[in-house]
Every structure is written in structure tokens, then in C-alpha cells.
Structure 1
Amino acid sequence: MAVEHRIVVAGCGGMANTWIDYAIAREDTEIVGLVDIKEEIAAAMAERKGLSCPVFTDIEQAVTATKANLVFDVTIPSSHHKVGITALELGCHVFSEKPLAESIQDCLDIVRHSEKNLRTHAVMQNRRYDPRIRAYRNLIAEGTIGQPGFISADFFIGAHFGGFRDAMQSPLLLDMAIHTFDQARFIMDANPVSVYCHEFNPPGSWYSGNAMAICIFEMSDGSVFNYRGSWCAEGAPTSWEASWRVTGEHGTAIWDGQGEPYAEVVAAGDQEGQFIRHVDRIPGKPVEMLHTFHQGCLDEMFASLAENRKPETDCSDNMYSMAMVLASLESAKSGSKVLIADWMNAALPI
């Protein structure tokens, strides 16, 4: 098979391993350059992976020298805007680790450059590529519980990371909530309309900043999404995928993030006068996937290029997941509800 994708990998830290291994396994890709602010780290990665490509400390130089047409951006979040814009302007597609960028202005700028240059910029949202969440989404989309009106996600884990997260101002919202927020959008096939968020640091927390948050989102399908999360909750942890409940006209769909999803719906037949009505339990239908999580998301990114379409996690879509994070922070700071469209429009350049 001919090589179609000449890849420069920007950022040679831990996450790069998964991306590089995936590219090496494909017959239609070639890694033509590695970039890191420390050249010795890029050189060590090349040696470890058996790559003979050159190494660089500058993304523009790397793309120009190698004639790359695709950039894997696995740099730190604060570099995503610069790396993404530079690569897009040089004619490359970009596959990026989350988050899209660190501010809504930078997110919108990446979307603008992607559209202007007719190049794909896609974001890694690996939790979408779990067969169980796909089965859960299908269970709801098929109308099993009728029209949904409420969705909730509980995320309670006592995570003793140490290091930079312990010193962050908003460790839960900034470093983790993007996953759950993106999952909510995926499950409901809806975008955020507004958010009210209260974040705080509960007793016993080992974080300097606010490690707990409660958010109420109004969604574009008319439903309400309630997020309750904590990164300093000792005991009885939820799954890292969160614990989910969606209530609809005729029943409730449940997924605990670990087992298989199911729904309980009001049983057929006359139940007039029943205080609590009898329900039937309906399991979600299993979903088969060749690759899951990171590899599944990368499969979708490459498939979108082959099929000349936008990927599922294209920047123009993913900006709404990032908007949920950043608008939540804005709401927590102001103490008031944020209307997300107005807030995003205010961030556009005049």
C-alpha cells in the first residue's frame, strides 16, 4: 500500500507512545519527523521506536523540511493553539490530543483556520469509542425510554496524583470534566445552551484549588444535564467513565460506566391505579468495534480523510465540549448562569 500520510509528531511525552505505535502499525502512514522542545527527548523517542526520521525543536521547520501532510499534536495543552494553527497554515491536517485549546478564543481560531485552509483538525475524545457507551447511546436513540428529559453523570474518585494537578485552581473542571461533558453531548446528540456551575473544595481535600463541581446544563434538545463531580471523594468510587442516568417519557436508561447499559420501561398492559408501575428491563444491544478508545478514535480520524468528510470529533464539533468546560468556569467565577451562544459570540474577533 502506498504511503498517503506523512506524519510529524509534535510532543514526545508519554501520550505520544500510543499515537506513534498506531501510526507504525498502519501501512498507509510514515512518521517523517519528531518534534519536542527538548531535542534529546525526540531523539530518545526515535531510538526507542526504531525510527530513522529527523528530529526538530520547531513545528514549522519540521513540516517544511519533511513535506509532511499530517501532524499529530500530543504537546501540552498550552501549545495546542500554536501547533494547530501553524500546521493548518502549512497545509497539514491535524489530529490533536484534548483539549482543543485553553481558551474559547483559541478554540474558535483553530476552527476558523481549519475551515479557511480546508484541512481537518480533529481532537482525541477516546471515551466515545467504548462499545458500552455506544450501546447506551443507541438504546436511548432508538426511543426505548421515549423522549429524554434529564441526564445525569456522577463522577466521584479520590485521585492522589501529586504534582501539578494538586496545585491547579480548577483541577476537576480543567483536567477531567471535558471527558464527561463530551460523553453527555455524544449520548444525547445535543449541544449546550446554558450552564450554571458551582465549584468548591470540600473538607479533606488535598488539592489547592476547587476539586469538586456541580453543573446544570440546558441542552439543545430541551433536556437538562446535571454533572456532579469530585476528584477528592474517598470511598465508593464511580467508574472513570462516570455513572449515568437518563430519564424519559416511558422509563429510565442506566449505565454505571463499568457493566452493560440497560433500560427499565413501563410494562405494557393496564396499570391504572398502580402507585409504582411495573417495568420491563431491556438490555442494550452489544456494539462490535475493531478498535476501541484511543485506537478507535484514530480509526475514525483516518477514515474521515479517506472518505472526504468531517470526523466525529472535528474541531467544529469539539469546540462545544470545550465550551462546556470554559463556560462552567465562567459561571463559577461570576456566580450566574452563562448563555453559551452569547458567551461564544462575545469571544469572536470584531
Structure 2
Amino acid sequence: MKEKMFRIVVAGCGGMANTWVEYAMGRQDTEIVGLVDIRLESAECMAERHGLSCGKYVSLEEAIRENEANLVFDVTIPASHHEIGTAAMKLGCDVFSEKPLAESLDGCLDLVRVSDETGRSHAVMQNRRFDPNIRALRSLIKEGTIGKPGFAGADFFIGAHFGGFRDAMESPLILDMAIHTFDQARLILGADPISVYCHEFNPAGSWYAGSAAAVCIFEMSDGSVFNYRGSWCAEGAPTSWEAQWRITGSAGTAIWNGSDSPYADILTPQQEEQAFLKATKRIETSPAAGGASWHHRCLDELFDSLLQERPAETDCRDNLLSMAMVLGAMESSRSGRKVLLSELLGR
């Protein structure tokens, strides 16, 4: 594995930035060399909180040039991700960004283009991929436990009273939250989206201005169909934040309630020829217990990828396909038609 010292500039000094900084400070091969925020006092507060003596800036370019940085943590608001990511890569830095990749398809595509042109890495924090239960569910599918998948369904129903900007968004569920479930579907099935039909709506009793509920049907590259049903204004009987999953295959079904260990219910080897319902048996999983948080595991993957000089699992080129599911669903909802993802991606 290549030896390297990571000189990190942190852009955006609030929220999850503290978790990323704490992680970096725990590594022997990293140094926080600059903190950047449009409000200088936010950078100063973060430096004091973590006992950092690095420079504080309002200019990303100045922070990178003065400190010969080679990695930028982009923990800014979504509207800034394209600007921060492209600037950092053009200045010679690799980038690790909070989701989403960018707010628009053009922004997402441009980040991939700049990564290609500069040869710099750009990866996204998709922490839920690193939930041990999701990895265990993915293994059930990958190992052929339920045969060839034909259908995957995810239900997400939570009455989330955030207040603030989400209450005023046009598509709060799809744009702000569904990226996680869509990205999980790609991981679990090991397949990519081909097309989407989406119907967004705002149910009775909703406190959101925009569409806080949606039903989406995705055709996937493995021939399966992924169905997402969700609401952010569903009072009572909430699902897990990771959704409730059912994946049916040619030899059985995999189930995950979003909290406990997933399991499979599969056909037994010997069956009565004329049986109306075939006999099945339950297969349990044993997800890895304890260990680092999902955020830390995603950061581990980033640094491993940089040291091994390979794309990260959440590299921008891969994450573009999860973002295309979000943006394709919104386009389908607006137009009232099925949208081919190739139309959006120009492929």
C-alpha cells in the first residue's frame, strides 16, 4: 500500500464536519491544515472545539495554496458542492463530499468530467452503504441464496417534523432523503437503473408545502423491478430510517425490517410435485457486530481507495447513477411519463 500524508482542508465548519474532523485527527497519516467557512467565526469555533492551530479562511483557494493541501473535505450545503468540488480538483486536491453529489444533473456530470480531466478522486459520503445489516442483505442476494432476484420493494414511512427548509421544498422526500434508499437498492441488487416512473403527491394532513410522499417503479439492469413507497408525513407506525425491504427471487425471499438482522425464506430441496404452496426454510444472517460507525467505515473506504490508487466504492462516477434515480424520479413526476435514465445521462 502506498505511503502518503494527507493534508486536509475542511470546507464547511458545521454539522457533520465535526465527525469528519474527529476521524481525521485519529489517523497517523492525516493533518488538518485549514478550515474554511463563509463565516470566519464558524471556522474559528471549530478550531477551538478540536484544539486545532491550523489557519482559518473564507477562501478555499487561499487555504489550499498556502498549505499545499491534497485533500478537501466538502461538508458545505448542497448548493455549494459543485463549486467546491470543481475548484478543489482543479487546484490539485482529491475531494470527499457530503451527499448529494450536486443539486442538479448538470452539476453532477460536470464533477465527473472535472475528475476525469484532472485525474483527482471525488467520492461521496453514502454512509448507509456501510451498515453491517445492509452488507449482510447484499451477501444473501450476491451468493444466490434466493436465486435470481425479480422484485425488490422498500417502504419508508416516517412523520418527520423538521421545520426549516425541508418544509418549503418542492420534493422534500425524493430530493433530500430517497437518495439513501435508492443507493441501497443499487448496492443490494448489484444492479443499476434503466428507467423510472414516479408519482409524487402531498397526502392529507401533510405539513410540507411540496410533495412529501411518492411511489416509484424502477426497471433495473438485472431485469428486476425496484418499487419504492415512501412518505415523510406518515404519522404512526413508523418504519426504520433504513426502510423495510422485501426481495423476491426465483428460489425464495429475503426480508429486512431496517433494524434487525436480515434473513431469507427459501425453497427446500425436496418438494411435493403437486403442492400448492412449496415448503421453505429460514436462513439467518450474522452481520458484523460493533466496530466503527457507518460514517467512519465510509471514510475508511475513502482513505483505502486513495492509498491503493483505485476508485472508492462511492466514487462520483458510481454515485452519479444513484443521483440519476433521484433526478429521474423528479422528472417523471413532473412530466407524468416513464423516464429512461439514459436520456438524462446522455448515454
Partner of 1:73: 74
Instruction: Check conservation: 2:324, 2:344, Cα contact below 8 A.
Output: no
CA shift for structure 1 position 308: 0.8
Q: Secondary structure of 2:283's match?
A: strand
User: 1:177, 1:94 → 2: CA distance?
Assistant: 23
Partner of 2:330: 329
1:164-205: per-residue Cα shift (whole Å, max 9, x none)? 111111110111000000000010111110000000000000
Aligned-partner residue type, residue 229 of structure 1: G
Aligned-partner residue type, residue 63 of structure 1: I
Partner of 2:269: 268
Partner of 1:248: 249
Partner of 1:19: 20
User: 2:302, 2:167 → 1: CA distance?
Assistant: 33
CA shift for structure 1 position 225: 0.3
Q: Secondary structure of 1:164's match?
A: helix
User: 1:141, 1:305 → 2: CA distance?
Assistant: 26
CA shift for structure 1 position 343: 2.0
User: 1:3, 1:149 → 2: CA distance?
Assistant: 44
Aligned-partner residue type, residue 102 of structure 1: E
User: 1:160, 1:69 → 2: CA distance?
Assistant: 39
User: 2:300, 2:344 → 1: CA distance?
Assistant: 33
User: 1:113, 1:121 → 2: CA distance?
Assistant: 9
Partner of 2:228: 227
User: 1:105, 1:320 → 2: CA distance?
Assistant: 13
User: 1:177, 1:87 → 2: CA distance?
Assistant: 28
Q: Secondary structure of 2:273's match?
A: coil
User: 1:150, 1:105 → 2: CA distance?
Assistant: 31
User: 2:331, 2:123 → 1: CA distance?
Assistant: 25
Query: Which runs of structure 2 are paired with 1:59-208 in the superposition (5 Å)?
Result: 59-208=60-209
Instruction: Check conservation: 1:3, 1:27, Cα contact below 8 A.
Output: no
CA shift for structure 1 position 3: 6.6
User: 1:109, 1:167 → 2: CA distance?
Assistant: 28
Partner of 1:286: 287
CA shift for structure 1 position 289: 7.2
1:215-234: per-residue Cα shift (whole Å, max 9, x none)? 00001111100000100001
Aligned-partner residue type, residue 29 of structure 2: D
CA shift for structure 1 position 125: 0.2
1:20-78: per-residue Cα shift (whole Å, max 9, x none)? 00011111000000000000111111111100001111111111111100000000000
CA shift for structure 1 position 290: 4.2
CA shift for structure 1 position 280: 0.3
User: 1:29, 1:52 → 2: CA distance?
Assistant: 14
CA shift for structure 1 position 292: 3.3
Instruction: Check conservation: 1:131, 1:289, Cα contact below 8 A.
Output: no
Partner of 2:42: 41
Partner of 1:341: 342
Which shows bigger deviation, 286-295 or 182-191? 286-295
Instruction: Check conservation: 1:291, 1:299, Cα contact below 8 A.
Output: no
User: 1:345, 1:65 → 2: CA distance?
Assistant: 39
Instruction: Check conservation: 2:4, 2:307, Cα contact below 8 A.
Output: no
Partner of 2:315: 314
Aligned-partner residue type, residue 123 of structure 2: A
1:86-113: per-residue Cα shift (whole Å, max 9, x none)? 0000110000000000111110110111
CA shift for structure 1 position 269: 1.2
Q: Secondary structure of 1:320's match?
A: helix
Q: TM-score normalised to the size of structure 1?
A: 0.97
User: 1:234, 1:288 → 2: CA distance?
Assistant: 32
User: 1:19, 1:286 → 2: CA distance?
Assistant: 25
1:247-268: per-residue Cα shift (whole Å, max 9, x none)? 0001100011100000001112
Aligned-partner residue type, residue 244 of structure 1: W
Q: Secondary structure of 2:346's match?
A: helix
Counting aligned pairs with the same residue, the percent is: 64
User: 1:325, 1:23 → 2: CA distance?
Assistant: 31
CA shift for structure 1 position 291: 2.2
The gaps in structure 2 that reach 5 residues or longer are: none
User: 1:158, 1:220 → 2: CA distance?
Assistant: 33
Number of positions where the alignment pairs a residue of Structure 1 with one of Structure 2: 345
Q: Cα RMSD (Å) of the superposition?
A: 1.2
Aligned-partner residue type, residue 24 of structure 2: A
The gaps in structure 1 that reach 5 residues or longer are: none
Instruction: Check conservation: 2:261, 2:286, Cα contact below 8 A.
Output: no
CA shift for structure 1 position 287: 3.3
Aligned-partner residue type, residue 282 of structure 1: I
